[in-house]
Amino acid sequence: MIVMKFGGTSVQDASAISQLVEIVKARPGSRLVVVSALSKVTDGLLKVAQLCEQGDLPGAEKQVDELRLRHLHVGRELGLSAMQIEPIEKWFQQLRHLAASLAALGEVSPRSKDLLASFGELSSSCLVHGAFIQRGVNAAWADSRKLVATDSEFMSAQVDWEKTAANVQAQLLPLLQEQVVVAQGFIAADPKGHTTTLGRGGSDFSGAIYGATLKAEKVEIWTDVNGILSTDPRVVPNAKTIRQVHFLEAAEMAYFGAKVLHPATIYPALKQKIPVWVLNSKNPADSGTEITFDQNSPAGVRGIAFKNNITVVNIHSSRMLGAHGFLKSVFDVFARHKLSVDLISTSEVNVSLTLDPNSDMDALQRAKAELNAFADVEITSGRAMISVIGRGIRDTAGLAAKIFTEIKNINVQMISMGASELNISFVVTSDQSVETVQRLHQALIP
């Protein structure tokens, strides 16, 4: 049995969905197909949330209708019957009602946002299911909210593995013996049955959750590039496919910003030792990237990842000179405000740290107010974190010298090296990130 996850561009229109059907048909055995929303639809649904918050009902209705028409158009182009279109009309009717109530209130809670966002995957999965039937494939549709169980941390819910495994084994496994099953990525439900989501880009994670709980032979992540590339192809157009990448390297690439994989994707598969492949639905003949457990996979620089628009926080407290517990006090504050820290560099009374672009800036202001009780705090935005990634690079003689010589005229603000054997990371201003990545790619990737 295999899990095949298709991202937004792999279901963006009728021709992409037809291609998806062909790709799935070409795979023998039991197949679970996990789909994202059509490309840009989740953004569109979050726009609906924003319009509802502003109390702009006509705006929200217009946006909902545009999304509906796009889905109906794709359905028509796929040749779906009126009966097959019906569930899609039903989702959009629910969405319209929801938007009307939210716009009347002028308030959208995280719980409502998740419900709004779920209509993207609910609708795309119906289109894909219809396309399978239309093309003679015996297929069933499954609701991921009945399968993937999470807590109630809306917009970034945590998986209840035991419950999910029980649901999957009881409900999904029997279906998969007989049919191709189409389910949604990204969405799940909490113990009360309320819709939750796994965070933006979370459909990859859904694929891995299903892979692990089904003990699949492999998980295939189908996207719009030939696998995991040595860096973002939008910055370096000739970035190369990494044909084999170690699990730890893939996780590090994802965590440090390579958008091709959601950072949580790797661990469930790793726990069960399930191979993961990243493949191109626009070019299925390409062999893509294999993520392996092979301890003998070669050491050295594998890729360069980066995150733009990160925030750097400098914390200084001369009062803590000679006193112990400074770092603990600082990190307690960040933990209390649920701010997750990427890079850290410290000296006795100074701490510099970086926060992800998605960090809650209001929470940061609250954290700053608390830190001000014992330290001066300086917040700098508009920075980028660049990470050179590969196994064993900590122990590669001369690599740091090579990196920093290559970018010697670029002002490097913070360096973190040696904490993990897998990466050397540092901070530059956002406007220099492209040049930094391009130069390093040229110098380090053969």
Residues that bind ligand ADP (CB under 6 A): 7-10, 36, 201, 223-225, 228-229, 231-234, 253, 258-260, 303
Select from 96, 111, 200, 215 the one that contacts ligand ASP (CB under 6 A): 200
Q: Look at residue 42 and give the partner it binds from ligand ADP, ligand ASP, Mg ion, none, a contact being a CB closer than 5 to 8 Å depending on partner kind.
A: ligand ASP
Determine whether 88 is exposed, middle or buried from the number of CB atoms within 10 Å of its CB (0-12, 13-18, 19+): buried
Q: CA 307 to CA 262: how far, in whole Å?
A: 14
Q: CA 381 to CA 152: how far, in whole Å?
A: 31
Question: What's the gap between Cα 97 and its chain centre?
Answer: 29
- What CA dihedral angle connects 122, 144, 38 and 107, to 10 degrees? 60
What is the closest distance, in whole angstroms, from the C-beta atom of residue 198 to ligand ASP in the complex? 8
- Which of 8, 20, 18 lies closest to 44, judged by CA? 8
Angle at 326 between CA 320 and CA 330, to 5 degrees: 125
Q: Look at residue 228 and give the partner it binds from ligand ASP, Mg ion, ligand ADP, none, a contact being a CB closer than 5 to 8 Å depending on partner kind.
A: ligand ADP
Select from 75, 130, 201, 202 the one that contacts Mg ion (CB under 5 A): 201
Neighbouring CB atoms inside 10 A of 37's CB total 30
Select from 10, 30, 84, 203 the one that contacts ligand ASP (CB under 6 A): 203
Q: Are 412 and 427 in contact (CB under 8 A)?
A: yes
Ordered DSSP codes for 120-147: HHHHHHHHHHHHHHHTT--EEE--GGGT
- Tell me if 201 contacts ligand ASP by CB under 6 A: yes
Find the binding residues for ligand ASP in span 18-47 (CB under 6 A): 36-37, 42
Q: Look at residue 96 and give the partner it binds from ligand ASP, Mg ion, ligand ADP, none, a contact being a CB closer than 5 to 8 Å depending on partner kind.
A: none
- For residues 2 to 41, the per-residue mask of contacts with Mg ion, x marking binding by CB under 5 A and - elsewhere, is -----x----------------------------------
What is the closest distance, in whole angstroms, from the C-beta atom of residue 187 to ligand ASP in the complex? 9
Nearer Cβ to Mg ion (120/201)? 201
Query: Measured between alpha carbons, how far apart are the two ends of the chain, in Å?
Result: 37
Residue 231 corresponds to which tokens in the numbers above? 């860096």
Nearer Cβ to ligand ADP (62/234)? 234
Strand pairing of 423-429 and 376-389? antiparallel
What is the closest distance, in whole angstroms, from the C-beta atom of residue 439 to ligand ADP in the complex? 17
What is the closest distance, in whole angstroms, from the C-beta atom of residue 271 to ligand ASP in the complex? 21
Q: Are 104 and 54 in contact (CB under 8 A)?
A: no
Of 162-170, 198-206, 217-225, 412-420, the window that binds ligand ASP (rule: CB under 6 A) is 198-206
Find the binding residues for ligand ASP in span 204-263 (CB under 6 A): none
- Which of 282, 300, 274 lies closest to 214, judged by CA? 274
Q: Contact residues for ligand ASP (CB under 6 A)?
A: 7-8, 36-37, 42, 120, 185-186, 200-203
Q: Contact residues for Mg ion (CB under 5 A)?
A: 7, 201
